[in-house]
Amino acid sequence: MDTPQLAWSDRLYRRLLGYYPPAFRTRFAGEMAQVFRSLCRAQYAEAGISGLAWLWLGVLWDWTWTVLAQWGQLLLKRRSEMTQTSILNRSDGVPALPVRDTILAVLPFLLFGLSTLAEKLGLHLSYSANPPLWQVLTGHPFLLFNWLVLVGLLVSLLKGFPRWGYAYLAWAILFGWWWSDMGSYGYHFGGEMWLPLLGVMVLALLLRRSIQPLRTLAAGLWKEWTLLSFAIYVLYAHMFMLFDSVHNPHLPALIIATTLGLGLGAWGYFRAASPLRRVLALMGGLGLAILISILDGIAYSNLAQGTPDPNLVGVIFVFVLSLLMLGNGLLALWRSKKQERAVP
């Protein structure tokens, strides 16, 4: 026959068991109540009321920390499930690039920043009034940058076109477009500026004796829809890094900061495994660039009255651009979900 103290202990412990998370309670509460019951009776038989009181002291401590531990585990589990299912983390099957490859992908951004710096500060070879063409082609910082990008593109094609190759391809295409109507040291360049890019493609095909790199390139374009955002990013990255007509006394610092900011955006793009994270990284990079361009507003302070503030125009433009990128990311996400559903 149970004493009132034992009956009271059982009732109280059953109540305390109600504070465990539901799943734990359903699974173990019955057993725990029974173990506690057996413990109480053994303790009471051995040491009476004082034994029971000592047991309760230990049980209250045991109950407190295990209730907290079980709720903590449950919350951590829910959080990790939420992270896995979050729209931000949903993958489109394009894995994050390893660090070494990401460095290669970001390199053209840094090289372009360096060439801008060299061009603005005059840190390049100076020529006579009419230098020969080969001197211009190899000595001008931007043209030198283009050769380096083409070398990178050639290496990537020879390696079967790993994903970092898209960074070099995007910069090479941008350069072809940009310099096909550009003059330097008395020379005017036109459509022939596309020839080096074409030459690299042909050379890679000849050396590899296979069209596999080009097939990989095309397949990657189809698989990674956010490359469209990346192409737009490269276009505007080059515009932000050029600092045309800017005479800010702190120009080198601005160029370095913009280069690093845009490089960081590109780094985030290649390191992310979900399309939304990729486009958000690019939007972040552009955001940093526009922030820096606002800081260099001092350069525009001599504009005529009534001229629209170029920074405001820039902010609106980048905002629209960011929305386009976000749309591109969402579209890539929608497509991957659709493909997932199609798999039986």
Binding region for another protein (CB under 8 A): 24, 27-28, 30-32, 34-36, 38-39, 58-59, 62-63, 65-67, 69-70
Q: Shortest distance, CB of residue 69 to another protein, whole angstroms? A: 6
CA-nearest of 296, 30, 302, 248 to 120 is 248
d(CA 265, CA 87): 20
For another protein, give the closer residue by CB, 67 or 273. Answer: 67
> Smallest distance, Å, CB 32 to another protein?
4
Cβ burial, residue 137 (10 Å; 0-12/13-18/19+):
middle
Query: Contact 33/13 with Cβ under 8 angstroms?
Result: yes
Measured from the CB atom, the residue of 55 and 174 that comes closer to another protein is 55
Nearer to another protein, 58 or 186 (CB): 58
Residue whose tokens read 């360049």: 189
CB 8: neighbour CB atoms within 10 A?
12
Q: Which phi-psi region, left, alpha or beta, contains residue 196 (left: φ > 0; alpha: ψ -120 to 50)? A: alpha
Min dist. Cβ of residue 54 to another protein (A): 11
Tell me how far, at minimum, the Cβ of 37 lies from another protein, in Å: 9
**Which of residues 12 and 39 has its CB atom nearest to another protein in the complex?**
39
To which residue do tokens 């890094």 refer?
Answer: 241
Token match 């068991």: residue?
17
Nearest distance in Å: CB 59, another protein:
6
Listed in sequence order, the residues at least 6 apart from 255 whose beta carbon sits closer than 8 Å to its beta carbon are 113, 116, 117, 120, 241, 243
Helices within the chain (DSSP H only): 4-17, 22-85, 99-121, 133-139, 141-158, 165-179, 195-208, 212-223, 227-242, 251-271, 275-295, 310-342
- Residue with Cβ nearer another protein (1 or 57): 57
Task: Report, in Å, the least distance between residue 66 CB and another protein.
Answer: 3
Q: Which two tokens stand for residue 254?
A: 């601005």
In sequence order, the β-bridge partners of residue 188 are 183
Q: Is 71 helix (H, G, I), strand (E, B) or coil?
A: helix
Nearer to another protein, 11 or 27 (CB): 27
For residue 56, the minimal CB distance to another protein (Å) is 10
Which CB, 36 or 178, lies closer to another protein?
Answer: 36
Rank residues 38 and 80 by Cβ distance to another protein and give the closer one. Answer: 38
What phi and psi values does residue 301 have, to the nearest 5 degrees? -65, -15
CA dihedral 179, 181, 183, 184 (to 10 degrees): 10
Smallest distance from another protein to CB 4, Å? 22
